[in-house]
Chain A
Amino acid sequence: MALDGVDLAVEPGTVHGLLGPNGAGKTTTVRVLATLLGFDGGRARVAGVDVASRPRLVRSRIGFVGQYAAVDEILSGRRNLEMFGRLYHLGRRRSRERAVELLERFDLTGAADRSVRTYSGGMRRRLDLAAGLVLDPRVLFLDEPTTGLDPRSRAEVWRAVRELVAGGTTVLLTTQYLEEADRLADRVSVLDRGRVIAEGGPEELKSRVGGGRVEVVVADAGELPVAAEVLGRMAGAPPEVDRDALRVSAPVCGGGAGLTKVVRALDEAGLDVEDIALRRPTLDDVFLGLTGRHGTDVGDTEGRGALEERS
């Protein structure tokens, strides 16, 4: 995956989200900044240190949590953290103390001496996060920290990230989920094909996209054109028609009020509506709004949990 013009400046003590579909260059960006990938043009500084010329110094100031829970499966949680402590050159005693602190902080004390094999997905991810925090890093990279997690584990990880940022850590987070960026990030950069195509606060981006989409399911295929005509008039953007699902959808502004207007207009047209719903904007909508085309293979906000290939 080639990057072409990724400009990021992240304020200390904030969460910056990198949002984009598979292959947009999110992972590549994070891997470059975390010294895992070389690059041939441009400049990158992390925690005040030039990545290309001082990779080791960068490594002593960052934590990196990749897409997979990169902890030792066989060792216990405690031994994992002690090992990472030693490799961060904390010394034997301090490594041991730090492991105890982190186990407590991530609510893993009860499972501390069990093999990681017996951990649930959420526990593994928490241990993984703890391992990235052994040094209390200034900058933490999180590459899709909640992909593949169930909603409860996801909420646990979000809580942990918020606590970290409250403690002053700067976080660069990649995600396919608009909801995740919405919950965690102070600012978001939207990536597409290796370039940043938009940047701003999550609310700002969403308002650029509009309030969301209205989806209307009609009872009969014959009513689809009428429904499309109504929605098209209300939305000011061409609606999408799904013939198999008997569904028409279009972006609307104004949230609930917008929905009410649509309902009224449909009623006036005398349509037999089976179902109508207002869907919050998804990453796909952001994409459609920004680029005029769909992002491919994009997980929706409900989180189908599609795993991204490492680019």
Chain B
Amino acid sequence: MTVTGRGAEPLPVEGEPRGPRAWAGRAGWAVADATVVARRYLAHLVYKPDELVGTLMIPVLAVLLFGFVFGEAMGAAMGVGGEDYREFLMPGLFALTMAFGIGNTTIAVVTDVGRGVVDRFRTLPMAPSALLVGRSMADVVSALVDLVVLVGMGLLVGWRWHEGQGSALAALGLLLLLRLAFTWIGIYLGLLVRGPEAAMKLFSLVFPLAMVAETFVPTEVIPAWLAPVAEWNPLSATVLACRELFGNTTVVGESWVAQNALLMAVVWPLVLLAVFVPLATRRYRKLGR
């Protein structure tokens, strides 16, 4: 098959540039291209803020519902007052919001694939990594916005951090790291499923996974047969680590994961990234096979 361009002159056929300088140039373009893609997704938050509002709806309602309606009862189950329970609850909700972000990522990717936007990107001379990396960058930025709103909400209902700003920032860093890892799960799922309906079904699986964790109650009140699942849930490690770093009410279980929550709050996201970045990248390349 030959499709010739205008002009019959023989076109120079350059090889792909090699060597360290070319490599640095390509890396520079990869960053620039990813930034352009990230800005596209962030512009969506501004022009169509319902995604952001939707993401925040669940944790904000949860603060009101679990903090105030069930707060005393939940606290009583743990042997603490409602106020202490709210301190206990907020880090759980921060992490929950990070997990629910998977839904937004998946739906955005599915929509782009379905509308042919991904095809168009793939015919541009941009860095092949730019679309996925750009999406993950945008997700981390929008997660930061989510967290700022939720921290404000927490402060309104009496939640505080007690271990200084450095520790508080470290906790936020761990939450963003978790979101970054979840983003790549979302991207992978978005490339895997067909159509937003299928994505919604998958998302309903995220719901129990985000609940069977340290989110709302300490794992020790979870039935014994389910407790290991909750303890080893990546969400739990981040929640426990954040409670520790914020100096909030916490109940640290006997298990090894609970004892090493800080370590696991770093290790888990890195493991997830190590698995899902290659999976998503391979899947993206395979769109053409």
Please state if A43 and B1 are interface contacts (CB–CB under 8 Å).
yes
Interface flag for A208 (CB, 8 Å): no
Please state if B125 and A60 are interface contacts (CB–CB under 8 Å).
yes
Given contacts A48-B4, A74-B43, 13 further A-B pairs with CB under 8 A are A16-B3, A45-B3, A54-B16, A56-B16, A63-B123, A66-B116, A66-B120, A70-B115, A84-B120, A87-B126, A87-B130, A89-B125, A139-B4
Please state if B47 and A10 are interface contacts (CB–CB under 8 Å).
no
Known contacts A48-B4, A56-B125, A170-B3; A70/B117 CB under 8 A? yes
For A37, give its contact among B5, B124, B288 (CB under 8 Å): B288
- What mask results when residues 1 to 14 of chain B are scored 1 for a CB within 8 Å of chain A, else 0? 11111111011011
Residues of A that sit less than 8 Å from B by CB: 6-13, 16, 29, 31-38, 42-50, 54, 56-57, 59-64, 66-75, 79, 83-84, 86-89, 115, 131-132, 138-139, 168-170, 172
For A12, give its contact among B5, B44, B124, B289 (CB under 8 Å): B5
Which residues in A have their C-beta under 8 angstroms from that of B124?
59, 84, 87-88
A–B Cβ pairs within 8 angstroms, 22 of them: A6-B1, A12-B5, A12-B8, A33-B1, A37-B289, A45-B4, A46-B2, A47-B3, A56-B125, A61-B5, A66-B119, A67-B116, A70-B116, A72-B40, A74-B43, A74-B47, A75-B40, A75-B44, A86-B32, A131-B120, A139-B5, A172-B3
Cα A44 to Cα B1 in complex, Å, equals 5
Cα A275 to Cα B48 in complex, Å, equals 55
How many residue pairs, one in A and one in B, have C-beta atoms under 8 Å apart? Answer: 141
Cα A168 to Cα B5 in complex, Å, equals 9
Please state if A68 and B115 are interface contacts (CB–CB under 8 Å).
yes
The residue on A at minimum CB distance from B1 is: A44
The 6 A-B pairs at the shortest CB distance, nearest first, are namely A138-B5, A48-B11, A47-B5, A70-B116, A64-B123, A68-B116
Interface flag for B200 (CB, 8 Å): no
Which residues in A have their C-beta under 8 angstroms from that of B37?
87
Please state if A169 and B1 are interface contacts (CB–CB under 8 Å).
no
Chain B contact patch, size range: 35 or more
The residue on B at minimum CB distance from A65 is: B120
Cα A266 to Cα B109 in complex, Å, equals 62
Q: Tell me the smallest distance from the CB of B25 to a CB of chain A, in Å.
A: 11
Cα A273 to Cα B265 in complex, Å, equals 84
Cα A47 to Cα B70 in complex, Å, equals 68
Interface flag for B122 (CB, 8 Å): yes
Q: Tell me the smallest distance from the CB of B9 to a CB of chain A, in Å.
A: 9
The residue on A at minimum CB distance from B43 is: A75
Interface flag for B23 (CB, 8 Å): no
Please state if A34 and B123 are interface contacts (CB–CB under 8 Å).
yes
Cα A56 to Cα B115 in complex, Å, equals 23
Known contacts A9-B2, A170-B3; A83/B125 CB under 8 A? no
Known contacts A49-B13, A59-B123; A8/B1 CB under 8 A? yes
Please state if A170 and B6 are interface contacts (CB–CB under 8 Å).
yes
Please state if A70 and B5 are interface contacts (CB–CB under 8 Å).
no
Cα A69 to Cα B256 in complex, Å, equals 53
Which residues in B have their C-beta under 8 angstroms from that of A50?
13
Please state if B4 and A54 are interface contacts (CB–CB under 8 Å).
no
Which residues in A have their C-beta under 8 angstroms from that of B121?
87
Which residues in B have their C-beta under 8 angstroms from that of A168?
6
Cα A89 to Cα B16 in complex, Å, equals 17
Please state if A47 and B11 are interface contacts (CB–CB under 8 Å).
yes
Which residues in B have their C-beta under 8 angstroms from that of A45?
1-4
- What mask results when residues 248 to 273 of chain B are scored 1 for a CB within 8 Å of chain A, else 0? 00000000000000000000000000
